[in-house]
């Protein structure tokens, strides 16, 4: 929420600077997100008078102006505005000034051969309005040479974040009330005189949905003249980030932003019959002010007449009945809507608005008459017109909420001692009514909660109000009690695994990426193979964040594309997070996963290497094996099986499994079709490691405590060369050999794969280095022969024959 300091001072009598206001807001729990000084943006712009205006010698639509800037010698400026003329007083941007609307730096230049020293500016260029038909025209007595920021009175703008529990601060008057309670000034009471109607209201107003709309008030004002709102009103709306539209619309927005009270003005000529708050009929439609059509259901409250729906109650008005320059008679509507109904309707329609954000938090139900009179007085002051009597249908909730509160509770819950009279002052300054010493309640006070504070439920909430206004910085920092001794570790085994694997990926030269858990449905569907369907959000942040990711790879591939678009040549990215699958009975199944992508240049070009090297499937496999080993997976027992899936290149991908069903990782090259879908050029190696599928290591605790001693005897190495069918995976042969004699063989490693002269067609020669480790005595010849027999027997199961 934004507001200007000048607007705040309409409600708060204070001499405080913008820095003091910002500091106090932060101190009382209203977070300041930023402070902007429009005067700084208007630096370099001065009030100037046009002394002469002559036609440009080489352009029909340009004029050459002699401009007085108050410094003696006039400046020559080329201008194309149709209203530029002798005697006009306007705003000149001098060389070096930055135009707020587009960031252009003004400089001395030649336009069609004529020197120009700056620019005469329009309101749009200075972001002071939407007018761009001509340059700004100031009054004749405007002081020439004065900085325009000083003349305009540009007020600092404060932006604050309002938490959902503070609906009273959704209006600037509520913020002023808090600041006054904190001692920063005096709150100016809202003086609203009741507007007596001059004639009976010609429109029947009623509520047929007392649950959704308990109170519905209205009146007609006839003979109004709509048009641009006064400059003071436009300035206040612009400071809040609102675009001025017309006087009638701007006045309702001014009430909403100033007092947190949405209201609506209908063009009476476009209404037909009674105006009713009712439930929508199934399938009814309405074209809202955002020009979108919404289909309604029977759980939604609407404002309608005999012709149909005109307003999605409490959220957005309809386009058909909105006011325009032709409007002469208006119906003002101000109502109280059920907050829960408003929230449900907004979620169903995926429709947000300033009105909804206030109604669903809860507004003051007692501000109906005052708000309607205030709105009427502003319209009559700005647009003229004659008001009717007020019609009231229903009544707002009127039972006051009373909380019994003991002043001693503040020190017990809040940790700070505040005198009882100071507590009473704070509460009354915030609008609470305090009655002390009520019979039967001991020291407890009876505190009546004002209607604009629906967030107050009990005594603890009263403590919070007292403490935050008294000063959160006055609450002493007290250490929590701690038992003697060394604290026990609290990290779970899974948390330790995450830390270990994340550190290992970083050590191996990868950069961690953090991507959204929500991704576009089109990208998610590419990686949804075999995952039982996608989780699609019913109310997503946007269409591009609609599906819960079934894999980490779509987000990483999008990151690759963004980095390539910005000139990156080589990328090694990883992410550790959850992927979201559909489990049994429609329950969410979250899986801890590590994904990584290797894209672009593996090594840059050089005099020795020539062209840059790119990543391949073996790079991905090597990284997967290293990370699995770090995670504690039994990599020596893993089997390489099948293609990794349709997202991967069918001939350059595989899975790593423990048995036929337990998939620990998928790796390989990205399928070219998927690469095109993500708009990525060049080969991409990628993988996904399913950390949740790694089995727990049996006896890990006992193993960790065991003392390690190196073998007393030296290891023995033997080389074996086998002829095997060419389609036999080398990994299968290596595992078979290593498991042939577990008591003696500690490692089997492939070091040669030969196909050529001397090797029969259809076969290949695989050479393995086998490491043998004697335990209590050295090997004899017959021991080595027995081990060799076991090795050849194990290899024979795969059709392998020992070469001579």
465 annotated as belonging to a binding site for a ligand: yes
% of the chain exceeding 90 in pLDDT: 70
**Residues with Cβ within 8 Å of residue 440, at least 6 apart in sequence:** none
CA 757 vs CA 724, 761, 801: distances in Å: 15, 9, 17
Say what the pLDDT of residue 702 is.
39
Contacts of 485 (CB under 8 A, 6+ apart): none
- Domains in the chain, CATH or no CATH each: 2-37+156-187 (3.30.56.10), 40-152 (2.40.50.140), 205-394 (3.50.40.10), 403-473 (3.30.56.10), 493-693 (3.30.930.10), 710-802 (3.30.70.380)
φ/ψ (deg, to 5) at 247: -60, -45
The mean per-residue pLDDT over the stretch 375-384 comes to: 95
pLDDT exceeds cutoff 50 at 39: yes
**Whether residue 37 has pLDDT greater than 90:** no
Quick check: 456 and 462 in contact, CB under 8 A? yes
| 422 has pLDDT over 90 | yes
Residue 623 burial class via C-beta count within 10 angstroms: exposed 0-12, middle 13-18, buried 19 and up: buried
- Residue 532's pLDDT band (boundaries 50, 70, 90)? low
Pick the residue with more confidence: 131 or 323? Answer: 323
Task: Please give the Cα distance from 731 to 621 (Å, whole number).
Answer: 13
Measured in degrees and rounded to the nearest 5, phi and psi for residue 513 equal -115, 150
Per-residue pLDDT band at 152 (split at 50, 70, 90) = confident
pTM above 0.75, yes or no: no
Instruction: Give per-residue pLDDT as tens, 464-473.
Output: 999 999 998 8
Checking if the pLDDT of 531 tops 60, the result is: no
| 58 belongs to an annotated ligand binding site | no
Which pLDDT score is estimated for 704? 46
For 573, phi and psi rounded to 5 degrees? -115, 145
CA dihedral 671, 675, 678, 680 (to 10 degrees): 160
**What pLDDT sits at residue 586?**
66
Mean model confidence pLDDT for the chain: 90
- For the beta sheet containing 433-435, the strands, ordered from the edge strand earlier in sequence to the opposite edge, are 401-405, 445-449, 433-435
Is 294 buried (19+), middle (13-18) or exposed (0-12) by CB count in 10 A? buried
pLDDT of residue 331: 95
Whole-angstrom distance, CA of residue 353 vs CA of residue 636: 59
What pLDDT was estimated at residue 698? 63
Q: Quote the Cα angle for 646-651-654, to 5°.
A: 70
Dihedral angle computed from the Cα positions of residues 8, 10, 14 and 18, in that order, rounded to the nearest 10 degrees = 30
- Please tell me the predicted confidence (pLDDT) of residue 180: 96
| pLDDT tens digits, one per residue of 690-718 | 999 998 766 554 344 456 678 889 999 99
297 assigned binding-site residue: no
State how far the Cα of 460 lies from the Cα of 409, in Å rounded to an integer.
8
CB-based contacts of 213: which residues, under 8 Å, 6+ apart?
Answer: 207, 277, 301, 313, 335, 336, 337, 338, 394
Scored b (16 or more CB within 10 A) or e, 651-666 reads: ebbbbbbbeeeebbbb
Predicted local distance difference test score (pLDDT) of residue 703:
41
- Does the annotation flag 311 for ligand binding? no
Tens digits of residue pLDDT in 186-216: 999 988 999 999 999 999 999 999 999 999 9
- pLDDT of amino acid 707: 63
Phi and psi at residue 705, in whole multiples of 5°? -85, -20
Tokens read off for 797: 């199961």
Q: Is the pLDDT of residue 357 over 80?
A: yes
Q: How far apart are CA 348 and CA 357, in angstroms?
A: 15
DSSP string, 276-294: EEEEPPTT-EEEBTTS-EE
User: What does the chain come to in residues?
Assistant: 804
């Amino acid at each position: 929420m934004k507001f200007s300091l000048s607007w705040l001072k309409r409600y708060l009598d204070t001499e405080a600077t913008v820095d003091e206001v910002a500091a106090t807001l932060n101190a009382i729990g209203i977070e300041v997100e930023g402070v902007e000084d429009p005067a700084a943006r208007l630096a370099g712009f001065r009030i100037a008078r046009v002394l002469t205006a002559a036609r440009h010698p080489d352009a029909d639509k340009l004029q050459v102006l002699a401009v007085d800037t108050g410094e003696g010698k006039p400046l020559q400026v080329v201008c194309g505005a149709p209203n530029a003329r002798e005697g006009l007083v306007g705003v000149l941007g001098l060389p070096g000034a930055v135009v707020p609307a587009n960031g252009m730096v003004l400089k001395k230049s030649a336009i069609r051969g004529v020197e120009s020293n700056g620019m005469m500016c329009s309101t749009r260029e200075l972001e002071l309005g939407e007018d761009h038909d001509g340059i700004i025209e100031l009054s004749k007595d405007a002081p020439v040479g004065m900085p325009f920021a000083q003349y305009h009175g540009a007020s600092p703008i404060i932006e604050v974040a309002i938490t959902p529990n503070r609906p009273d601060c959704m209006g600037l008057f509520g913020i002023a009330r808090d600041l006054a309670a904190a001692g920063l000034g005096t709150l100016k009471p809202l003086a609203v005189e009741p507007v007596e109607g001059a004639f009976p209201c010609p429109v029947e107003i009623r509520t047929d949905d007392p649950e959704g709309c308990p109170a519905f008030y209205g009146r007609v004002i006839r003979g109004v003249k709509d048009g641009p709102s006064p400059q003071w009103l436009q300035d206040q709306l612009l400071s809040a980030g609102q675009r001025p539209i017309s006087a009638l619309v701007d006045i309702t927005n001014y009430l909403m932003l100033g007092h947190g009270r949405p209201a609506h003005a209908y063009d009476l000529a476009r209404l037909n019959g009674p105006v009713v708050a009712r439930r929508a009929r199934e399938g009814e439609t309405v074209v809202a002010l955002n020009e979108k059509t919404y289909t309604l259901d029977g759980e939604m409250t609407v404002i309608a007449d005999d012709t149909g729906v005109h307003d999605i109650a409490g959220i957005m008005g309809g386009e058909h009945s909105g006011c325009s320059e032709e409007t002469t008679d208006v119906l003002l509507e101000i109502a109280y809507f059920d907050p829960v109904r408003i929230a449900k309707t907004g979620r169903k329609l995926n429709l947000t608005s300033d009105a909804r954000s206030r109604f669903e938090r809860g507004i003051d139900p007692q501000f109906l008459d005052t708000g309607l009179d205030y709105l009427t007085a502003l319209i009559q002051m700005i647009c003229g017109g004659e008001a009717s009597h007020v019609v009231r249908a229903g009544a707002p909730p009127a039972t006051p909420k009373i909380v019994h509160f003991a002043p001693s509770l503040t020190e017990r819950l809040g940790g700070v001692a505040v005198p009882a009279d100071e507590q009473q002052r704070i509460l009354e300054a915030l609008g609470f009514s305090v009655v002390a010493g009520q019979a039967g309640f001991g020291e407890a006070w009876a505190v009546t909660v004002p209607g604009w504070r629906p967030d107050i439920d009990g005594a603890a909430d009263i403590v919070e109000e007292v403490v935050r206004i008294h000063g959160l910085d006055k609450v002493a920092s007290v250490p929590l009690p701690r038992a003697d001794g060394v604290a026990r570790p609290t990290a779970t085994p899974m948390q330790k695994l995450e830390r270990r694997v994340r550190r290992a990926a970083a050590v191996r030269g990868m950069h961690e990426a953090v991507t959204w858990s929500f991704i576009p449905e089109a990208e998610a569907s590419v990686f949804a193979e075999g995952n039982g369907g996608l989780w699609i959000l019913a109310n997503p942040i946007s269409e591009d964040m609609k599906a819960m990711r079934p894999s980490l790879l779509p987000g990483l591939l999008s990151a690759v594309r963004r980095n390539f678009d910005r000139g990156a040549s080589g990328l090694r990215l990883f992410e550790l997070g959850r992927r979201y699958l559909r489990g049994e009975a429609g329950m969410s199944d979250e899986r801890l996963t590590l994904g990584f992508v290797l894209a672009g240049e593996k090594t840059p070009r050089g005099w020795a290497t020539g062209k840059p090297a790119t990543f391949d499937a073996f790079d991905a496999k090597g990284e997967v094996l290293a990370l699995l080993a770090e995670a504690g997976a039994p990599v020596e027992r893993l089997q390489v099986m099948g293609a990794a899936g349709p997202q991967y290149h069918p001939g350059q991908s595989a899975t790593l499994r423990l048995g036929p069903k337990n998939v620990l990782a998928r790796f390989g090259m990205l399928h070219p079709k998927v690469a095109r879908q993500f708009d990525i050029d060049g080969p991409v190696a990628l993988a996904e490691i399913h950390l949740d599928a790694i089995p727990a290591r049996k006896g890990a605790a006992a193993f960790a405590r065991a003392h390690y001693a190196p073998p007393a005897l030296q290891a023995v190495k033997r080389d074996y060369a086998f002829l095997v069918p060419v389609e036999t995976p080398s990994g299968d042969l290596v595992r078979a050999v290593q498991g042939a004699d577990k008591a003696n063989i500690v490692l089997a490693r492939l070091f040669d794969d030969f196909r050529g002269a001397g090797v029969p067609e259809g076969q290949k020669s695989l050479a393995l280095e086998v490491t043998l480790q004697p335990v209590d005595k050295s090997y004899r010849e017959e021991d080595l022969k027995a081990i060799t027999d076991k090795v050849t027997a194990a290899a024979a199961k795969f059709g392998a024959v020992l070469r001579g």
